[in-house]
Structure 1
Amino acid sequence: MSLKPHILVVDDELSMRDFLEILFRREGYRVTAVDRVQKAVACLENDHVDLVMTDMQMPEGSGLEVMRHTQALAPKAMVVVITAFASTDNAISAMREGAYDYLTKPFKVDEVKLVVRKALEKKLLSSENLRLKRELKQSRSRSLVGSSEAMQSVFRLMAQVALTKTTVLVSGESGTGKELVARGIHDEGNRANGPFVAVNCGAIPENLLESELFGHLKGAFTGADGAKQGLFAVAEGGTLFLDEVSELSLALQVKLLRVIQEKKLRPVGDTVDRDLDVRVISATNRNLAQEVEEGRFRRDLYYRLNVVEVEVPPLRERREDIPLLVRNFVRKYAAEMDRDIDSVSDAAMQTMMAYGYPGNVRELENITERAMALSQTDKIDLDSLPDVLKEVQPSLSVDSRPIGARGLEARLQEYERAILDEALRQSGGVKTRAAAQLGISFRSFRYRFQKLSRSSDSSESEGMGESLPED
């Protein structure tokens, strides 16, 4: 496959086709020259085309037809139209419909070269931006993974709301990945090509936050030496992510409610409303319903923001996802640190799964990065883990047969069963106490307890199968 950019020339005049073909070949491009729209369509259907240069007026068809076929068959190709001096209106119409530029006959050789070079550079830059966006998306997804039922429920809900315009509230403890969820909804939705703008409402002083969100005119207040575009305007056509939205003052909550309800924006100091096309996704690590009841958050704004709530579970309630997360982090930091580390010892993984992670996925990533930096071998072992993990490690009895002798699910069930058994032992068999000790809800504990009891071949004789008191 040729790496040379491919230019398709469409012109009914033989002399013009020959001139452009010779010129472009000398510049190192691959060229196909045709005299009618149908042949151009055939080329677009059967070959990769980077740039189309078409005459606007031809006996059989027009340059606008060529451009529309190009947009349908080769949407990434750039289009340059050629027109007579007296017909520039048609060329301008073509640019409104998506053409990159136009050339007016008669034109100079250097002018043609410049337009083509800039068009191809823009195409290359657009392709590079798309590639970088894909890589960034893949990088972010390393932290937003999980095979647990809890995370699968999150993924299903994200997929359902991604293609809608509704506001979404993402709730969960710090470090669970709320911004990653918001970005995931944006990336999979109709606004994926628009901006994703994130702002931490608790990190900006209240006296500056209004201007930061809504913008201001020059002279709107003391120190406003110039006009400022607010983040709502920056996010036009995309998504604005309001992290820690519970930190907004009641006065700002009123203004935010108005923007969301009316879909109009009025910068500070302005008297004119501007139409706004922005999706709002917010996040909080607080119980927002309780904040409403206690008068710290407006009830009407709460209902506007919480049309759909995506609750991200803490890591301690989805321990079965820890091995998958650790593997992803190991791959990430092995590449960044240029380390030949590709695995985690059994003892180290057991210890990592037993820890409670008050900092959630963010803390797990930090621990994995630290272990990668300190490891003296080709794997993460106990010696490279921080003492805080080893200090709280329960004495777990886990089958020590080679991992290859059992599947991943069986191995994870062993770890989880051992953790629950130890918690039950320490709590005297009372499940509510065991759940509190593990930092999970009783409902979550009961679900895991019953699931593991069903999967155990010896449930009648082992602790997991016994009927234990709840209180």
Structure 2
Amino acid sequence: MEKILVVDDEENIREGLKTVLETEGYSVDTVKDGNEAIDKINTNVFDLVILDLKMPNLDGYEFLNIVSKTDPYLPIIILTGHGSLQEAVELTKRGAFDYFLKPPDIDRLLTSIVKALELRKQLLEKGKEKATQPFEALDNIIGESEEIKSIKTIVRKVASTDATVLITGESGTGKELIANAIHSLSNRRKGPFIKVNCGSIPETLLEAELFGHEKGAFTGAINRRKGRFELAHKGTIFLDEIGEISPKLQVALLRVLQDKEFQRVGGEETIKVDVRIITATNKNLEEEVKKGNFREDLFYRINIISIHVPPLRQRKTDIPILANFFLKKYTETHNKNIEGISEELMNLLLEYSWPGNVRELQNFMESSVIMCSENILTVSSIPPNYQTKLLQPKVNLPQTHNKELDNEKVIYIKLGATLKETEKKVIEKTLEAAEHNKSKAARILGITRKTLIMKMREYGIQD
């Protein structure tokens, strides 16, 4: 018997749906808000959720974000009192299966439920095979450079432990992907993965966001609300921009790390949690400790395992791999027929420093796909805001490389090429441009001469 959870703060809606669904042969649980629903989902298995969009404590949007991480195959049907086409599109993007105005047409709702349950069954069947290969979570970390390979090795080693992990690196390097991979490969992968950007939440609200609050704890606290640590129970919490938290919150966080307990804002009850903590920062926390901005004891607590993600400019062999990955993604998204990237454009991508790292390259590739009117992505597809950045006269590059860029005919890398084939071609063409001077070629690629020689041997590239 399929089990359905109905979440709505209106009792008549809850009980009415429960009666109808039980008559149809479904097992039904009901709760009145999003926090209660998360608790239910963390302790029970449901086949479908019918969710009111506007609720106290945790609204439908937040609920979708959390559940998509804990059970990506769980279909969610949204109910709302005031809907719009734009809202329906946004909810669908966030993972909602269907969308109904209150009161819903019962026949249409029951038809939608049947379709949703059938889809879940199909997805779970497909997921069984993937579940036997948990390391597929690493596939989201794109790249074949030695640095990325080293990061993947560390992730494999630490995932099965409960050790705290500190991920460092510039903005846009992919720190969240690494945190997600650690959770997905861990024994906690069936539990929630809760993300908190500590730098985007005002200091006055961050404590309540992390630890929750009691009713009346402050102006506007009209109900008790669970914090992110409670929602992450039996799972993982990812604290991004950890270097931005105040000294007061640093003390509270240290207590959670040491004793696995805390109190809600305005509360006296001590709450125990079982949660793994992963943190990330683009700051040098050791320097922040020396300056007195970050507690030394907290630094050592969160830094049991450290993973540093180098900027894209220091692992340029990953640029063609990432560029082709994003090309494939956005040609499908925007319904374009683009077969590859011209070598002239690829060389420009390799020369650019990408201060925004992978996130900037992703943005550039999507914009370029949209601008492209040919079946090959070329220099003419470069978005206007990148014309100056990529096409300005180049300096500090070997003269042979500049000459090669000027004279060589344009070729392209076809979609469908493997990562290894792409990397091999980039190395071969760079060696040609540098007239087989390995030191020059290594400098162009942003790798060491030793790494280049190892790659040449790996791919059978002749001197």
TM-score category by the smaller chain? 0.5 to 0.7
Aligned residues: 333
The superposition leaves residues 144-176 of structure 1 with CA deviations (integer Å, 9 ceiling, x where unpaired) of 211111100000001111111111001101000
For 1:294, the equivalent position in structure 2 comes to: 291
Contact 1:353–1:415 (CA<8 Å) still a contact in 2?
Answer: no
Contact 1:320–1:416 (CA<8 Å) still a contact in 2?
Answer: no
Q: Paired residue for 2:278, among 264, 269, 281?
A: 281
Change (3 A) 1:138 1:334: farther
For 1:390, the equivalent position in structure 2 comes to: 391
Q: Paired residue for 1:411, among 407, 425, 432?
A: 425
Structure with higher Rg: it is: 1
What is the TM-score of this pair, normalised by structure 1?
Answer: 0.61
For 1:411, the aligned partner's letter is: K
Q: Paired residue for 2:305, among 301, 308, 321?
A: 308
For 1:191, the aligned partner's letter is: R
Change (3 A) 1:129 1:298: farther
Contact 1:240–1:278 (CA<8 Å) still a contact in 2?
Answer: yes
CA distance, structure 1, for counterparts of residue 310 and residue 370 of structure 2: 29
Change (3 A) 1:232 1:119: farther
Change (3 A) 1:167 1:418: farther
For 1:218, the aligned partner's letter is: K
Change (3 A) 1:457 1:400: farther
Change (3 A) 1:349 1:156: same
For 2:68, the equivalent position in structure 1 comes to: none
2:194 counterpart of 1:193? no
* C-alpha displacement of 1:265: 2.5
For 1:160, the equivalent position in structure 2 comes to: 157
SS of corresponding position for 1:199: strand
Structure 2: 5+ residue stretches without partners: 3-23, 25-46, 48-72, 74-112, 414-419
For 1:179, the equivalent position in structure 2 comes to: 176
CA distance, structure 2, for counterparts of residue 419 and residue 221 of structure 1: 65
Structure 1: 5+ residue stretches without partners: 6-26, 28-49, 51-75, 77-117, 459-471
2:250 counterpart of 1:253? yes
CA distance, structure 2, for counterparts of residue 451 and residue 304 of structure 1: 37
The superposition leaves residues 225-246 of structure 1 with CA deviations (integer Å, 9 ceiling, x where unpaired) of 2111101111111111100000
Q: Percent identical across equivalent pairs?
A: 38
CA distance, structure 2, for counterparts of residue 244 and residue 347 of structure 1: 37
CA distance, structure 1, for counterparts of residue 273 and residue 343 of structure 2: 54
* C-alpha displacement of 1:411: 2.7
For 1:164, the aligned partner's letter is: T
2:354 counterpart of 1:357? yes
The superposition leaves residues 373-425 of structure 1 with CA deviations (integer Å, 9 ceiling, x where unpaired) of 01111121111123112225552526769789x96444322455588899999
SS of corresponding position for 1:397: helix
Trace 1:420-431 onto structure 2 (pairs within 5 A): none
CA RMSD of aligned residues (A): 4.1
For 1:100, the equivalent position in structure 2 comes to: none
Change (3 A) 1:446 1:424: closer
* C-alpha displacement of 1:256: 0.4
For 2:241, the equivalent position in structure 1 comes to: 244
If asked which structure has higher relative contact order (CA below 8 Å, sep 6+), I would say: 2
Trace 1:59-458 onto structure 2 (pairs within 5 A): 125=120, 128=123, 144-385=141-382, 386-387=386-387, 388-391=389-392, 393=394, 395=402, 397=404, 408-414=422-428, 416-417=430-431, 445=448, 447-448=450-451
